[in-house]
Amino acid sequence: MADSLRNSPHFLAKAPPLAQQVALVTGANSGMGLATTRALLEAGYRVAATDLATAHVAQELGVFGERLACFTMDVSDHARVDAACSQVEAHFGRVDVCVNNAGFLQYANCEQTTPELWHKTLRVNLDGVFYVSQRLAPGMKARGFGRIVNVSSFGAKTGGLSPLPAYAASKGGVTSLTFSFAREYAAFGVTCNAIAPTFVKTQMLTDQVSAERQAELREKIPVGRFCELEEFAHTVLFLAHPMSGFITGEVLDLNGGLQFD
């Protein structure tokens, strides 16, 4: 056991040093997932980057060598989640941190939301969080340490600044799942928290929201800008850290002071 751990407070006794910890990130090939994967690697974690395709993250972060491994995962498919998690465990031996970042957003109001869009949004955004967390939480429990960080949304609390019923409902479900997992696993050294960002500077935002609408949205945010990818990733690092063990069942707003009115 490393001296730093041997001399740590008793509540950290089962937390491996960061260099030995393994973090799994879903939706890691771009945007917030890619930024989070980079931040975790820079902090010293070994990282399993998962997504439907992983060529981009592998190319961008290949400099980290064997501390990064990429795996194909479709979070909406229970069997594929199980298979991918088994591959990660076979490669790294464990998963200590789970970042449920994979998400799907298509702008559609109530009348524009088809049954197909509704179900796809729920499968990716809600079912995926449950499938991955359900698969990994028992191992964390058995080892006496784990961190689950879910990505919810400002829209989960407010419905969003634009009418997005499928997305808002899916992220509301993520918030409820966060509370449930937190309560179930708190006694075993496993925390579960969520981040509720408003607008993060991603390609998803720039591709689907006009420049004029982006300007209108920025005016509503007191800090006058959107969240940077690095700021989002920093928040993940905070909740994933062993010293954040007294925080669980929380939804951390990342909104630049934006309030619903």
Q: Compute and round to an integer the Cα radius of gyration of the chain.
A: 18
List Cα–Cα distances, 17 to 1, 46, 59, 190, 220, in angstroms: 9, 11, 27, 16, 42
Active site residue 185: no
- CA 110 from chain centre, in angstroms, equals 26
> Where do the DSSP E strands lie in the chain?
22-26, 46-51, 68-72, 97-100, 146-151, 190-197, 251-254
List Cα–Cα distances, 245 to 9, 55, 96, 190, in angstroms: 12, 34, 13, 8
Catalytic residue among 45, 131, 167, 185: 167
Residues 6+ apart with CB under 8 A from 231: 254
Backbone angles phi, psi at 16, to 5 degrees: -65, 155
Instruction: Decide: 148 and 195 in contact? Cβ < 8 Å.
Output: no
Residue with tokens 């179930």: 184
**How far is Cα 171 from Cα 127, in angstroms, rounded to an integer?**
11
Residues 6+ apart with CB under 8 A from 168: 153, 155, 156, 158, 159, 160
- Supply 178's token pair: 């966060």
Residues with a catalytic annotation lie at 167
